[in-house]
Structure 1
């Protein structure tokens, strides 16, 4: 039976670098600047190698647990720079040109996942990728879940305060995932993008604007830090983050009134 690929919304994974051992650079899907693939196409996904790009695509696909479902992904790659600032600048350049992508690949993205959004050169400075997203998402009517500093509530909120676009959804916690026999920290944004597509697939309207709060994320070993949360207490750390428009992922607690899930 052919795999069902959700045709709208489409995703752009922008600037996820993966030039490292294990990458098949002879594959035409990889060699192209803009490459389209379905997340359920195992051969093409495996050809992405083992870097951040592969993690992003797999993180999206992990959320699509319905029968024969996948996401339609457009990939734009940049090379890893000598430091994070250089890489972020290259990704920002891709985002600044994002309005040209639809005519190149005959697909208009509605969700954008961009790398290096959690980095900032200083607490008073907006991340360059974030600045580019704010200036360009509206040109293609897209939205972007973005990772911010997950080390503390204050740093996550501080990062949120540098943003002004309602098309951005900052996420204040990172994912812990299995990498073979060990767990590693990975961006949460691709997983949230996959969740958005899963809900859209279930509703079937083709627009990524249906509520996806209080839904399960799949493929996680855990989260980068435990965030206390209660629906009954607005003073909890999780509620404070939500009040500052920073999204969270919280663990459920069985038998606890006010827990996010059982």
Structure 2
């Protein structure tokens, strides 16, 4: 509220013992499409809170991008805790990518309605189609909406950017001004049944964040950097990287605040790991 320039305000003195409630920063919000999802379970533009360990609710997501995002999260939950607390908002697939982005933006612009609707405040947001741009001089509309709305629920967003080259990924990063965004400049190659497909890396990073948060009890002292990403068949492209050489492409991307996933190399000094 805004204090009156002339008038009076009322405050309550909090000098009594109150219970301490733990904060959970692992709740995720996903906004994406799935044309063959169960419409009764997931009505359009409606927030539905689920556990990703609930196989029935996951099956009702169908075979669209929502299911792909949840699979990416679940692949990272390799310990006994096998489910993430996720709120799903299914939006309609538009006539083109820009129209789909507009549907996602509409949900983001009303993001403050979601916590009350599901009795949970998501702190990690996964919004689809962030890698698309109309041209190299234009910000993605979903990115613009994230910048305007993430602070309203104190959330962060892992966002995919152009994974075809370092130059395009850095160019996309230059259109962002919010510290609540974490761009990722490489996509995932994963198996869906017998088919090898390219999928966004962002849900896998979000799943990693949940895994590390749960394993450390939510303490902020153990970063999720330099950890294994599970469930990958490969990367959309190999990014040269060395822990010892700051001139490599991977180091240049990190310097520009673009996150990467790099392959390990056995017996190579400076490699991120011996394998995987």
Q: TM-score range by the shorter chain?
A: over 0.9
C-alpha displacement of 1:182: 2.2
- The 3-state SS of whatever aligns with 1:31 is coil
**C-alpha separation in 2, matches of 1:190 and 1:241:** 20
Identify, as 1 or 2, the structure richer in helix: 1
**C-alpha separation in 2, matches of 1:68 and 1:245:** 31
Q: Give yes or no for contact 2:262–2:272 (8 Å, CA) kept in 1.
A: yes
C-alpha displacement of 1:176: 0.4
Q: Give yes or no for contact 2:186–2:235 (8 Å, CA) kept in 1.
A: yes
Change (3 A) 1:149 1:210: same
Give me the CA root mean square deviation: 1.5
TM-score by length of 1: 0.92
Gaps of 5+ in 1: 1-5
C-alpha displacement of 1:97: 1.1
Q: Which one of 144, 155, 163 corresponds to residue 168 of structure 2?
A: 155
C-alpha displacement of 1:210: 4.6
Q: Which one of 236, 253, 270 corresponds to residue 224 of structure 1?
A: 236
- The 3-state SS of whatever aligns with 2:131 is coil
Residues 72-106 of structure 1 deviation map (CA, whole Å, 9 limit, x = unaligned): 00011110000001101111111111111111111
Count of matched residue pairs: 251
Structure-1 residue corresponding to 2:33: 17
Structure-1 residue corresponding to 2:255: 243
**C-alpha separation in 1, matches of 2:39 and 2:111:** 23
**C-alpha separation in 2, matches of 1:129 and 1:110:** 17
**C-alpha separation in 2, matches of 1:206 and 1:37:** 24
Q: Does 1:105 align with 2:122?
A: no
Structure-2 residue corresponding to 1:72: 85
Residues 92-142 of structure 1 deviation map (CA, whole Å, 9 limit, x = unaligned): 111111111111111100000000000001111110100010111111111
TM-score by length of 2: 0.88
Residues 28-61 of structure 1 deviation map (CA, whole Å, 9 limit, x = unaligned): 3x23611111011111101111110001011111
Q: Give yes or no for contact 1:7–1:72 (8 Å, CA) kept in 2.
A: no
**C-alpha separation in 2, matches of 1:31 and 1:99:** 19
C-alpha displacement of 1:206: 7.0
Q: Give yes or no for contact 1:174–1:224 (8 Å, CA) kept in 2.
A: yes
- The 3-state SS of whatever aligns with 1:162 is coil
Q: Does 1:48 align with 2:65?
A: no
**C-alpha separation in 1, matches of 2:218 and 2:30:** 22
Change (3 A) 1:206 1:103: farther
**C-alpha separation in 2, matches of 1:8 and 1:155:** 31
C-alpha displacement of 1:69: 2.9
